[in-house]
Amino acid sequence: MTLPSGHPQPKCPRHVAIIMDGNGRWAEARGLPRSAGHKAGIDALRRAVRAASAAGVEVLSLYSFSTENWRRPKAEVAFLLSLLRRFIRQDVADLHAEGVRIRVIGARDDLEPSLVRLLAEAEQLTKANTGLTLVIAFNYGSQQELARAARKLAEQVAAGTLAPQDIDMARLGAALDTSDLPMVDLLIRTGGEQRISNFLLWQCAYAEFVFLNLFWPDFDAAAFDKALADFAGRDRRFGGLKARSA
Ligand code: IPE
Ligand code: IPE
Ligand code: MG
């Protein structure tokens, strides 16, 4: 992850993560139910996937339902769950044809077995694809993910297959849902809030943050390119010194 100083810095992020926020406010501003905003958000999600593929991004991680979102009214939660099902059913074949590899991160325990199966099938179908890796964070919370990883390692220690002194950054990283993925380079949040809301805390250790003042359903290729341009202008020092110009 560290770059030697003076090394040319990559201008296109390998891993972009997006907190897709503002669906409800987008709908409310139009006198529509919040569900209309979530529905319009799916079109924005499709635009994001296309824009990321076109830009040559390797991994696009999308926050689509947080562990905290269960606090919402039952009807809204049910709508969001049904929207995920519909998206997977409708889009998986197209994504597969475009070479997209689908990964789902988050806890599966609270989800219905039929939904868990659907997600596993999408991952299985697309796992050998070599295009964009699309990470869907569903029922995802970063603190919960870290706790799950700690538990996994503790179980290995208890079973005698892991020595405590062998637990390091790499081991912990490998026990996370994102084990084989690169660290997040660029985190984008729409909707105007400037917070991380329990998304990829470990993985964003050195991410650049871009906050966009638009609601998620209004997100498009131009907004994505603006975030990439912003990223390209950043000086990423990783704790070192400013990269020397030639
Ligand atoms: C993001 O939009 C979608 C999810 C969190 C599932 P919101 O539903 O949070 O929309 P706002 O923030 O209330 O406008
Ligand atoms: C973050 O948005 C979660 C997703 C986009 C899925 P929220 O709307 O839930 O976040 P808060 O409540 O503003 O922190
Ligand atoms: Mg929100």
pLDDT digits (tens, 9 = 90+) for 163-214: 999 999 999 999 999 999 999 999 999 999 999 999 999 999 999 999 999 9
* Pocket of ligand 1 contains residue 21 by CB under 6 Å: yes
HSE of 115 in the Cβ direction (CA atoms, 13 Å)?
18
- Quote the CA–CA distance of 193 and 202 in Å, as a whole number: 20
pLDDT at 9: 57
* Pocket of ligand 2 contains residue 65 by CB under 6 Å: yes
- Quote the CA–CA distance of 80 and 64 in Å, as a whole number: 9
pLDDT at 19: 99
Spans in the chain with pLDDT lower than 70: 1-9, 243-246
Residue from 69, 129, 220, 230 carrying the catalytic annotation? 69
pLDDT digits (tens, 9 = 90+) for 33-53: 999 999 999 999 999 999 999
Residue type, 211: F
HSE of 83 in the Cβ direction (CA atoms, 13 Å)?
20
- Quote the CA–CA distance of 119 and 23 in Å, as a whole number: 23
- Quote the CA–CA distance of 149 and 220 in Å, as a whole number: 35
* Pocket of ligand 1 contains residue 84 by CB under 6 Å: no
Closest residue CA from atom 13 of ligand 1: 24
CATH of domain 15-141+182-232: 3.40.1180.10
Q: How far is the CA of 197 from the centre of ligand 2 (A)?
A: 6
Burial state string for 103-136 with b = 16 or more CB within 10 A and e = fewer than 16: bbbbeeeebeeebeebbeebeeebeebeebbbbb
* Pocket of ligand 2 contains residue 137 by CB under 6 Å: no
Going by C-alpha positions, the residue among 169, 200, 172, 171 that lies closest to residue 186 is 200
Catalytic annotation on 21?
yes
pLDDT at 64: 98
Instruction: Give the start-to-end residue ranges of the domains of the chain.
Output: 15-141+182-232
Closest residue CA from atom 12 of ligand 1: 22
The structure's pTM equals 0.95
Closest residue CA from atom 2 of ligand 2: 21
